[in-house]
Structure 1
Amino acid sequence: MKALHVVTLHTPTHEFGGPTRVALNLCRGLRAQGEQAALVALGDGFPPGGLPRRVEGVPARLFAARHVLPRFEVSGITSPGLLTAAPRLVRSADVVHVHLMRDLVTLPVAMMAARMGRPLVLQTHGMIDPTRNRVAQAVDVLGLRRVLRRADAVLHLTPAERELTAAVVAPHRTGPAYRLVNGVTPQPMRPARPEGGPPTVLYCARVQEGKRPQDFVAALPTVLERHPDARFVLAGPDTGALVGELLALARRMGVGHALEYVGALDHADVIERLRSADVYVLPSIQDAFSVSVLESLSVGLPVVVTRTSGLAPDVAAAGAGRVVDNAPGDPDNGRRVGRAVLDLLDPAANAAASQAAWRLARDSFTLDAVVSTLRGVYAAVRERVSAAPVRRPPRQPSGRRPARVP
């Protein structure tokens, strides 16, 4: 089976974060289980002529990004080359799996696949919900609602995401809904921190407003009062241009010496940072099912997450970390995060949460299990399409051979 995964963007510093990481993980997992899977995306930030043909072992067709609507950031980039090649790539795939957002890449490809009658799976990553933005509303009318209704499967991470996506097309219904959680490759348990060594608290995600890195920084005074030697490490691409403000905030609070920004990391460095930390903090109010939190759990690193996180119930039930309330503008956010970190720096609590985190990832969120579920969805989708007489494959244009999935 040939599965074509279409995602908006890949960069050397992984600035697009979760959707691209999930797409790569799923492609790699599918290939490990004997399927053919490839990635199609825009590439940005690479040297001229330097677009890779494989990403972390996954065959990839990357097309140079053009920033045609800069004010819309990632939603305003596209590639004429990708859109020209897309019909042939779609035609050659057995399943077209689109990591959908309101943009000029994934939405046009999804519309093509639906129009051509190809088996279409949409995965929304918590990015498709009702909006008051007029431009986004126009996008919904012009195509988004149509592809959500015509899709052969619409994947959601949580029941809340399914309801929000359904509200976009109401009073109509989306295509058949399936739950697919994110998964990670099992990792060895991280080593215990040497007794008496300085603790390390880690944030490793895109540095942008919705992930609330300012609440990570605001937790420093609370933690340093009890652990004056603690180190706070801020890692990830500065997609919100916030790092300068965060470092200045730490200096104003008199704790700048304890905060280090290490920039964007490749995946191997991310895992190494997780293995060497004592607590992972992600105070995000926008993540439906954070891959970075899952990767933390996979190495046995206790986590501090917000109650709105899709993983919060699992973390709380397993005892794999702490769950905190976090509302934008609440001056107590930092203190709440700091108190949760202090709880997990207690040696006995840290050891218990570490074991619980590692077991949770192994028992509930392995990539192999997720990919097996996805293959079942693909089988149902292909059966549904083959049984539908109205969905005929389009005629091949004369004189042209279809592009092959890489």
Structure 2
Amino acid sequence: MKILHVIANLAPRYGGPAKAAMEMSEALAKLGHQVSIFTTDQDGPDRLDVPLGEPVLKNGVEITYFPIQKPGFWGTSLPMAVALKREIPKYDIVHLHALYLFHNLVAGYYSRKYKVPYIVCPHGTLDPFIYQRHRNRKRLMEVLFENRNFRNAAALHFITEEEMHLAKPVSFDQQGIVVPIGLDLTEFADMPDKGAFRARYPELKDKKIILFFGRLNFKKGLDLLIKSFRSVLQAHPDAMLVLTGPDNDQYGEQVRQWVREEHLTQHVLFTGMLTGKDKLAVLQDADLFVLPSYSENFGIAVIEALVCGTPVVVSDKVNIWREVVSHEAGLVCKCETASVAEQIVALLNDPGKREAMGSNGIEMVRKQYHWDHIGQSLESEYRHIIQTGEARNFLVKATSTP
């Protein structure tokens, strides 16, 4: 099959959707398909240092970057539009990532014009918390093109069953598939020595590390986490909150302000974004991982922590919370300060439970969230859509190891 993925940006700062689109494409290429990605060179206020308008081969995937243009918030790129018009007829299927962006308008239009089936992956944008943000602007885009995209898509691709149910009131009862995202487990095959991250920061000596790993972003519940941490310290004075991840839309300064207001400066460590071995080191050395998001379509960092043997505390707005509970790999809190603190303290109080949950988390990820099997699920869905013109209606794909 010739498969085209279209996404506004691939820079690491954009988190889950960019990472998912790239790794999804790599998994399909590994199965022998010709997979391409059209995207822009957008990297926040900067630009990626990449060739423009010509394919770059990465792990079997042809990536073509186009120049971002104003208005940047919309992912605008007229050169991308020209290329989509020319290239879409050459593909068997098109996979659109995210909503309300320039590439959705253009790729949706040309896919319909040239009768190429396309799938739309909302990446959580239909979650009620996110759906209501900038509602007037989104409503305009829905009238202009997004509603048409939805009604004419071969399928909507949901990452979790929870996402599918949350989206149902605004998805026109469109056909959908549920295929998760996952990890390349080879990335976790050669772990750094235990204690490598702690050794880098003397202030972490003899401390219990509570780790937040992700973008410093409005939806991540960082206000809840900072406010709850004072209660955590009362129960465990040896706790240290480590915030690892890139600043998103200058939100990091707001987080630092909350830390100062709560007089927690000596108890909170900002590391910035960590990748490669540094990322593995912090995930492995943490005593527990916490993500109290107001909205989280999947939470790739959650399964990264779990496969490193680190138990998690997640809010009931993180869409894989049911899986975390059913596998006894962590605890679930409400999006309330007291609830966040209560669940963190509960795990800190019980080293045996943390160890057991860590082991359960490793097993959960290895059985359900590895790209080899997920790639096969996507391949199967693509073939069915190409052959029949439609998806298996609201089919939840199993991804456990046979």
Pairwise same-fold verdict (TM > 0.5): yes
Structure 1 counterpart of 2:177: 178
Shift of 1:344: 2.4
Q: 1:93 to 1:310 in 2, by over 3 A?
A: same
Counterpart of 2:84 in structure 1 is: 86
- Amino acid across the alignment from 1:315: V
The DSSP-based 3-state class of the residue aligned with 1:8 is: strand
CA RMSD in angstroms, aligned pairs only: 2.6
Provide closer, same or farther for how the CA distance between residues 358 and 169 of structure 1 changes in structure 2, counting only shifts above 3 A.
Answer: closer
Query: For 2:218 and 2:105, how far apart are their aligned partners in 1?
Result: 25
How far, CA to CA, are the matches of 1:189 and 1:220 in structure 2?
33
- After superposition, the C-alpha distances for 1:316-348 in whole angstroms (9 at most, x for unaligned) are 11111110011xxxxxx3342233222223321
Change over 3 Å in CA distance of 1:244–1:47 after alignment to 2: closer
**Aligned residues of 1:99 and 1:124 also touching (Cα < 8 A):** yes
Contact 1:39 1:59 in 2 (8 A): yes
Aligned to 2:307: 298
Contact 2:84 2:106 in 1 (8 A): no
Worse-superposed segment, 146-155 or 226-235: 226-235
Q: Which residue of 1 aligns with 2:157?
A: 155
C-alpha separation in 2, matches of 1:292 and 1:342: 21
**2:169 corresponding residue in structure 1:** 167
> Secondary structure of 2:124's partner?
coil
CA pair 138-202 structure 1, distance change in 2 beyond 3 A:
same
Which residue in 1 is equivalent to 2:64?
Answer: 61
Deviation string 1:245-269 (CA, Å, 9 cap, x unpaired) is: 3223223322211211122333554
Contact 1:300 1:355 in 2 (8 A): yes
Per-residue CA shift, 1:119-160, capped at 9, x if unaligned?
212211121367562221121122212121211121113344
Deviation, structure 1 residue 376: 0.6
Contact 2:41–2:50 (Cα < 8 Å) also in 1:
no
Residues 346-385 of structure 1: per-residue CA shift (max 9 Å, x gap): 3211100100111111122222221111111011011014
User: Which shows bigger deviation, 336-345 or 201-210?
Assistant: 336-345
SS of residue paired to 2:5: strand
Q: Deviations over 1:28-81 (max 9, x none)?
A: 11122222222221112355863483557743111121131x6xx3xx231111
Q: Would you say 1:239 and 2:241 are equivalent positions?
A: no
- Separation in 2, partners of 1:360, 1:15: 27
**Kept in 1: contact 2:207–2:239 (CA 8 A):** yes
Aligned partner of 1:124 in structure 2 is: 122
Task: Compute the displacement of 1:282 (Å).
Answer: 0.8
For 1:112, which of 110, 113, 129 is the aligned residue? Answer: 110
Distance 1:56 1:277 in 2: 31
Question: After the TM superposition, which of the residue ranges 211-220 and 306-315 deviates more from structure 2?
Answer: 211-220
**Aligned match of 1:374 in 366, 372, 378?**
378
Which residue in the other structure is 2:400 paired with?
Answer: none
Determine if contact 2:163/2:319 at 8 Å carries over to the other structure: no
Corresponding residue of 1:359: 363
**1:164: how far off?**
4.7
Which secondary structure state, in structure 2, belongs to the residue aligned with residue 59 of structure 1?
strand
Q: Distance in 2 between matches of 1:241 and 1:157?
A: 28
Match of 1:311 in 2: 320
State the 1:103 CA deviation.
Answer: 1.0
2:3 and 2:92 in contact (8 A); partners too: yes
1:97 to 71, 95, 98: 95
Structure 2 unmatched runs, 5+: 199-204, 391-402
Aligned: 1:334 with 2:332: no
Distance across 1 between alignment mates of 2:284 and 2:59: 20
Counterpart Cα distance in 2 of 1:9 and 1:18: 11
Identity in percent: 24
Match of 2:16 in 1: 18
Find the counterpart in structure 2 of residue 8 from structure 1. Answer: 8
Matches within 5 A, 1:212-291: 212-266=221-275, 269-291=278-300
Q: Contact (CA 8 Å) 1:188, 1:299: kept in 2 or not?
A: no
Is the Cα contact below 8 Å between 1:152 and 1:384 reproduced in 2?
no
Contact 2:30–2:60, Cα closer than 8 Å, also in 1 = no
C-alpha change, 1:180 and 1:79, in structure 2 (3 Å) is same
AA in 1 matched with 2:158: H
Structure 2 CA distance for partners of 1:201 and 1:51, relative to 1, 3 Å: farther
Normalised TM-score (structure 1): 0.83
Question: Within 2, Cα distance between the matches of 1:359 and 1:169?
Answer: 34
Structure 1 residue identity aligned to 2:215: R
Q: In the alignment, which residue of structure 2 is the partner of 1:137?
A: 139
Contact 1:153–1:377 (8 Å) recurs in 2: no
Q: Is the 8 A contact 1:219 1:337 kept in 2?
A: yes
Distance in 2 (alpha carbons) for counterparts of 1:275 and 1:2: 39
| Contact 1:297–1:303 (Cα < 8 Å) also in 2 | yes
- The one-letter amino acid paired with 1:61 is T
| Structure 1: distance between partners of 2:190 and 2:354 | 13
